[in-house]
Structure 1
Amino acid sequence: MEHYTYHILYQVEETHWWFVGRRSLILDQIARYYQGQKNLVMLDIGCGCGIFMTHLTPYGKIVGMDSSADALCFCQQRRLSHLVQGDAEMLPFFPNSFDLLTANDLLEHLDDDITSLHGFFSLLKPGGRLFVFVPAYQFLWSLQDEISHHKRRYTKRRLTHVIESAGFTIEQVTYANTLLFPVIWVGRQMLKIVRRFRDVQTENTLHPQWSNRVLKRIFCLERPLLRRLSLPFGVSLLAVCRKPL
């Protein structure tokens, strides 16, 4: 990501509707499988500024890895200590080391997502799970993809293919951020026009402050839906993957 992006991320990710909604959906999926467990060994690959790690600490030991020294400095400001600077395409860990992996908005950054997923597979103990969150649909490509240095956005078919190619069994793959899809699509079309007339550094601060609570509530409404079904379209994709025993 651009250097300045981590500072913006650290400032907004605790309260911004998109980050709160994403965390809510992924953490709810993790709780479905691991509620009450306290001795897991976990790895957050591409941990960013560490906000997601703070929510995983009740489940056991959480290690955060990111390629950016800036990101890890912000993790330290959150008093997180198990941190590794490393490349998701050359993982510096022993095989069969972790019960749970998370890769939140990571695969789209990688040159070779299938090879990287093979690496994730090797790190998991048999029966361990990987939780993946990625952006959906190339036609939604926007400013945030550019400044985050994304390589691609995914369809459900593409994500299923790369995960299964790495040896995982998929327990669920679903679109997410479906209810706000029309709003986001319109917003990104308008942003294309705005950028012709002025410089914009991030999408995270473009919505009016009063709307944050409303958007957050709408996004989080999908949490109970995803416990029961897979959504047919959305701004993102969420997958739960298991390494066979």
Structure 2
Amino acid sequence: MDSAEIQKLVALEDRHWWYRERRALLGRHLRRLAGPAGTALDIGAAGGGNTRVLQQHGWKPVAVEYGHDGATAAKQRKLPTVRGDGRRLPIKSGSIDLVLAFDVLEHIDDDEGVVAEMNRVLRPGGSALITVPCDMKLWSAHDVAVGHLRRYTRDSLRTAIENGGLHIERLWSWNVLLRPAAATVRKRSTSSDLRKMNPIVNAALSAVIVSERFLPVQSLPGVSLMVQAVRGK
């Protein structure tokens, strides 16, 4: 993701419906993880929005960010931050309890190599939480603008994670209810859809995405895929 998109993300993520609900989703899954909070790695952290969620839930996180702008923003938020490449993490093997990679794999040519690095730094039995955009039918100018190389199917995501050495515990869809709207908007898109929104529209979209918490839609096609995986013992 280029500098301009990173700067937009940092400026908007605290209020934007998509990022707010994704942080809420992360918080719910952190509460469900077995065992006490420990060390965590947030790969592709950008400005550290998700790193802050890890801190709030008692984890000791490090934000790993490749780009200068994202790493600078994370440091300005007083978050432990290192510049690093997901394919060559500057982290000791077997030293991390939880790895987070939210919308990272689609940006990197060697996605299996990134998963292998996640597997390497995790302690035996450690967990990984991963999200990616799904379905090439939704490919648009937005994907090009934010530096995506691909969108995933369930099968292609499963292959990348398993070939990287992690064991999938759960794989599900997210942003299901708004998929028809996303497909329509992106057919007409000419750039990234990350922009400041009308507060009323932002609230309406937030209400829709929040309702997914209570509906059995996670097996249906969505805009994103999410995975909980583990390193074998």
Q: Is the shorter-chain TM-score for this pair beyond 0.5, marking a shared fold? A: yes
Aligned-pair distance for 1:138? 0.9
How far does residue 120 in structure 1 lie from its aligned partner after superposition? 0.7
Match of residue 236, structure 1, among 213, 224, 227: 224
Question: How many angstroms apart in 1 are the aligned matches of 2:222 and 2:171?
Answer: 12
Identity %: 31
* Aligned match of 1:85: 83
Counterpart of 2:145 (choices 138, 144, 147) is 147
* Structure-2 separation of matches of 1:161 and 1:216: 32
Secondary structure class of the residue paired with 2:88: coil
Aligned to 1:215, which of 205, 222, 231?
205
Say if 2:16 is the partner of 1:16: yes
Q: Following the alignment from structure 2 to structure 1, what is the Cα–Cα distance between the partners of residues 93 and 215?
A: 35
Q: TM-score, normalised by structure 2?
A: 0.93
Gaps of 5+ in 2: none
Q: Which runs of 5+ in 1 are unaligned?
A: none
Tell me the alpha carbon deviations over residues 38-67 of structure 1, each in whole angstroms, 9 at most, x when there is no partner. Answer: 4x1000000001111111113221001011
For residues 169 and 159 of structure 2, the distance between their equivalents in structure 1, rounded to whole angstroms, comes to 14
How many residues align? The count is 232
CA distance in 2, matches of 1:11, 1:155: 30
- What letter corresponds to residue 26 of structure 2 in structure 1? I
Aligned mates of 2:214, 2:32 — CA distance in 1 = 11
Structure 2 counterpart of 1:237, one-letter code = L
Shift of 1:187: 1.1
Separation (CA, whole Å) in 2 of partners of 1:24 and 1:163: 24
- Partner of residue 33, structure 2: 33
User: What amino acid does structure 2 have at the position aligned with 1:165?
Assistant: N
Contact 2:26–2:53 at 8 Å: present in 1 too? no
Where 1:95 maps in the other structure, the secondary structure is coil
Q: Please, what TM-score do these two structures have when normalized by structure 1?
A: 0.89
Partner of residue 104, structure 1 = 102
> What is the CA–CA distance in structure 1 between the aligned matches of 2:142 and 2:114, rounded to whole Å?
23
Report Cα offsets for 1:141-188 as digits up to 9, x if no partner: 123211221110101111111111122221110111001111111111
Query: In the aligned structure 2, how far is the partner of 1:8 from the partner of 1:96?
Result: 35
Cα 1:136/1:61, change in 2 over 3 Å:
same
Deviation at 1:75, TM superposition (A): 0.8
Q: Take 2:166 and 2:61, find their aligned partners in 1: how far apart are those partners?
A: 22
Q: CA RMSD in A?
A: 1.7
> 2:136 & 2:187 partners in 1: Cα distance?
14
Q: Provide the C-alpha distance between the structure 1 equivalents of 2:140 and 2:21, rounded to a whole number of angstroms.
A: 20
SS of the residue aligned with 1:221? helix
Residue 60 of structure 1 corresponds to which residue in structure 2?
59
Residue 76, structure 1, aligned to residue 75, structure 2: yes
Residue 227 of structure 2: SS of its match in structure 1? strand
Between stretches 217-226 and 176-185, larger displacement belongs to: 217-226
Question: Matched residues in 2 for 1:149 and 1:14: separation?
Answer: 22
One-letter amino acid matched to 1:76: K
Retained in 2: the 8 A contact 1:25–1:222? Answer: no
Q: Secondary structure at the match of 1:71?
A: helix
In the alignment, what sits opposite 1:6? 6
Does the 8 Å CA contact 1:91/1:119 hold for their aligned counterparts? yes
